[in-house]
Structure 1
Amino acid sequence: MLRDYVRRLLQLAAGIAVSSLGIVLMLQANVGLEPWSVLQQGLTLVLPISYGLATVIAGAAAIGLAVLLGESFGVGTIVNIIGCGVCIDAMLALDWVPQLHSLPGGIAMLLAGLELLALGTWMYMRSALGAGPRDALMVALARKTGRSAGVCRICADILVTVSGFLLGGQFGIGTVISALGLGSLINLNFSLLHFRPAKVHQENIAETLRYPRS
């Protein structure tokens, strides 16, 4: 039991790391931010906060809305909200990924980042320790509407993009590609990996506390 739980925690951590790297690649692609990054950058422009802290705030808002729609949250949700913010700030500070200044290279890097984000999403959702905030919202919308997770992600991303743009976030061709492409990549990856997120029970906080590991 304990070994299985540790395996799931490692899977969660790996998924967060992969997702964070994907977001950093999209930021450094410099062809327009992906939807949630538009919002998060917009928050840094109106509030004296770092990009990582803006990620935490946006994540908390997303999980709050998901809870209102009937989703619960777990250890993985909390780790995701905090962990992504810390990982993104650390990767940007270390300057491992150079910022690109050519459109073809930027689009290529953006697409690589989108794929890493989709793959990382599968990794930590598969741990079933609680979906990430944006994914919990995606699943909540999928359950409520009966639509695919990818379609719900696209709709949410469009609304988030508009909100971020109104706050002053950077909008470009990469934003359009991300808003339409991430949901499609999530659908493709989940289909290839035979993963149906709406069918997976994500362990919530109460269940984690109720069943001690031994």
Structure 2
Amino acid sequence: MTIATPVRPAIQLADLGPVAQLRAGRLPLRFAQLAIGLVLYGVSLALMVLGDIGLAPWDVLHSGVTRHLPITLGQAVVLFSFVVLLLWIPLREKPGIGTIANALVVGLSADATLALFDAPAAMPARIGLMVGGVLLCGLATALYIGAQFGRGPRDGLMTGLHRRTGLSLRLVRTALEGTVVALGLLLGGVLGLGTVVYALAIGPLAQLMLPWFLIDLPDPAERLGRD
């Protein structure tokens, strides 16, 4: 006789406002994971810049903007994060603590990393940086989303458009990234093999790693019972 092994229900991402995010508990672990994830996200962006064989779609746009404005790549990331947040308003998306932290920390971390390291000349090293950047970005994404402090600015734009238009997330994401890549190219941004690798790999990597770092929050009814 075979005894069926109970299947643990999948952990779900919470859709909470800033106050509810703080009241959800496990704050030391969640804040630490959020901070580590956002810093590593900026480092991953910098690794792809140092590899110089193609950037992530949004960073094609960021790199194009830096050719026309006296700002660093990290500053362009911060600037566009807040521009994108303005687009949340008509979509009625709710920013969380992680949303604002994402808008600030990722760009600062990228600039700090770029200030510390020089780009290598050897192609094997450049390929290693590109691949490492993509893998690290998948890990960083799982860390900061798993902390349950809300979506990043660009992720929120994607989910907001999905909710408002009824189009699939895949279609919305493809349309958004295609648009920002086209704008970035018009501005002289960096497109290459790394862009293709990132576009194909980041979704599966984040989906694979998110369950490893998703912090389970108490059920709202349980929190009310304790209050």
TM-score, length-normalised on structure 2? 0.73
Correspondence for 1:182 among 202, 213, 225: 202
Tell me the distance in 1 between the aligned counterparts of 2:37 and 2:162. 22
> Which segment drifts farther, 127-136 or 101-110?
101-110
Closer/same/farther in 2, CA of residues 47 and 185 from structure 1, 3 Å limit: same
Structure 1 residue runs of 5 or longer lacking an equivalent are 201-214
The answer for the alignment partner of 1:158 in structure 2 is 178
* 1:140-192 CA distance string (max 9 Å, x none): 244444635x66444422221111111111222222222333234333434x5
- Using the alignment, how far apart are the partners of 1:67 and 1:85 within structure 2? 22
In the alignment, the residues of structure 2 paired with residue 118 and residue 130 of structure 1 have an alpha-carbon distance, to the nearest angstrom, of 17
1:70 equivalenced with 2:92 (yes/no): yes
Aligned residue in 2 for 1:84? 106
**Structure-1 separation of matches of 2:177 and 2:207:** 15
Pairwise CA distance, 1:3: 6.8
Change (3 A) 1:179 1:122: same
Q: Is the 8 A contact 1:153 1:183 kept in 2?
A: no
Moved more, 22-31 or 137-146: 137-146
Over 3 Å counting, the alpha-carbon distance change for 1:70 and 1:118 in structure 2 is farther
- For 2:143, which of 108, 111, 123 is the aligned residue? 123
- C-alpha change, 1:183 and 1:63, in structure 2 (3 Å) is farther
- The Cα shift of 1:67 comes to 3.7
Determine the C-alpha separation between the residues in 2 that align with 1:147 and 1:54. Answer: 29
Larger Cα Rg: Structure 1 or Structure 2?
2
Q: How far apart are residue 106 of structure 1 and its match?
A: 2.8
Counting aligned pairs with the same residue, the percent is: 35
Return closer, same or farther for 1:6/1:58 CA change in 2, 3 Å cut-off: same
Give the SS at the match of 2:67: helix
| Superimposed CA distance per residue, residues 2-44 of structure 1 (whole angstroms, 9 cap, x where no aligned partner) | 9722322111101101111111111111112221111111111
How many matched pairs?
Answer: 193
CA–CA distance in 1 between the matches of 2:98 and 2:184? 26
Q: Which residue of 1 aligns with 2:16?
A: none
Match of 1:173 in 2: 193
Answer yes or no: is the 8 Å Cα contact 1:151–1:183 preserved in 2: no
State the one-letter code of the partner of 1:71.
E
Whether the 8 Å CA contact 1:138–1:152 is kept in 2: the answer is yes
TM superposition score normalised by structure 1: 0.77
Cα distance in 2, alignment partners of residues 107 and 67 from structure 1 = 39
Q: In 2 relative to 1, CA 186–128 (structure 1 residues): closer, same or farther, beyond 3 Å?
A: same
How far does the alpha carbon of each residue in 1:101-148 deviate from its partner, in whole angstroms, 9 at most, with x for none? 344443332122112112211211122222211222233244444635
* Structure 2 portions without partners, runs of 5+: 1-22, 218-227
Partner of 1:210: none
Residue 61 of structure 2 corresponds to 39
Q: CA offset at residue 89 of structure 1?
A: 1.1
Which of 46, 70, 73 aligns to 1:24? It is 46
Calculate the aligned-residue CA RMSD, in Å.
2.7
C-alpha distance in structure 1 between counterparts of 2:122 and 2:178, whole Å = 25
Paired with 2:38 and 2:213, the residues of 1 have a C-alpha distance of 20
Quote the residue 2:15 is aligned against.
none
